[in-house]
Amino acid sequence: MFSLFKNRMKSLGSIFSGGDLEKLLSELEIALLEADVGMEGTERIKSRLREEIEGKRVKDFDEAVREEIEGILRESENHFDFDDYVTKRERPVRILFLGINGGGKTTTIAKLGYRLKSMGLKCVFGCCDTFRAGAVEQLKKHGERLGIEVIAHQYKSDPASVAYDTIAHARARRLDVVLLDTAGRMQTNRNLIEEMKKIKRVSKPDLTIFVGDSLAGNDALEEAKEFEKSIGVDSVILTKIDSDAKGGSAIAIAQELRKPIIFLGNGEDYDKLIKFDAKWFVERLFGEGE
């Protein structure tokens, strides 16, 4: 996990004691950009480090970088606890998921369904992706494995009507949580954006979650920013973190989107959804705690 950044940091050396600061920061910039941290996050880290180090004697450059990155991630970690949120909200809690096809959105919904069931909560899945071949079958397969009902309509039916019927079903049966899957065509597709806006108007979600593929790097950030601008995003889940050799997408999203990252997908199994923890993330970014 995150091998590219770890190797780059090793090449910088772990000791800095009054050498060429600008050269060191330039090398750090390359490491951060290659790790998909993004330009804004990279510039902020460099600027803060320059202020901290310039004119001082700093023994451990790695530690200074680590503290700055952890500070950025802690801004994303704080202020929101998903488990506490769904436990206390009025029933049914309505959760809308946004993201691009192939990013792990449907699997993430299944993982959250598993988590919620483990908490003793009753859920229902709504398949609002009525255009992708196999979307209903994929969600129903997860539902069968988990013992969670799936509400779906015919191919090419109105996705917003699926959201409406899923919420009505949950109310009638006094269920706790509604999880609404949506289509994931490219975020620049205006028809998709209008479709998502309508689903949001109809469902009035308590929580709108962007699900992004950590392997997509800066593309995940651009997708998240477009969904935030057009529809609105409350929080983020990053998938496939166990396969990510770079690790910077979380830093970029935390820095630029300024929304809480609530979970990381850390494997294929239903229980492989871990709460985001800045310290845990930074330890692995720097090659510790494996």
Task: For 60-83, write each residue's pLDDT tens digit.
Answer: 677 788 888 888 888 766 568 999
**Domains of the chain: residue spans and CATH:** 3-77 (1.20.120.140), 82-285 (3.40.50.300)
Residue 2, pLDDT > 90, answer no
pLDDT at residue 7, rounded to an integer: 66
The answer to whether the beta carbons of residues 91 and 175 sit under 8 Å apart is yes
pLDDT at residue 15, rounded to an integer: 40
Report the distance separating Cα 144 and Cα 110, nearest Å: 11
pLDDT at residue 170, rounded to an integer: 98
Beta bridge partners of 112: none
Q: Mean pLDDT over residues 124-153, rounded?
A: 94
pTM of the model: 0.90
Task: For 260-290, write each residue's pLDDT tens digit.
Answer: 899 999 999 999 999 998 888 888 887 765 5
Per cent of the chain over pLDDT 70 is: 87
Average pLDDT over all residues of the chain: 86
Of the pLDDT bands very low, low, confident and very high (cuts 50, 70, 90), residue 257 is: confident
Contact partners, residue 214, CB within 8 Å, separation at least 6: 220, 238, 239, 240, 241, 243, 244, 247, 249, 250, 264
Task: For 109-138, write each residue's pLDDT tens digit.
Answer: 999 999 999 999 999 999 999 988 789 999
Of the pLDDT bands very low, low, confident and very high (cuts 50, 70, 90), residue 14 is: very low
Task: For 22-37, write each residue's pLDDT tens digit.
Answer: 788 888 888 888 888 8
Residue 108, pLDDT > 90, answer yes
Report the distance separating Cα 196 and Cα 77, nearest Å: 27
User: What six digits make up the tokens of 81?
Assistant: 């606890």
Report the distance separating Cα 27 and Cα 195, nearest Å: 44
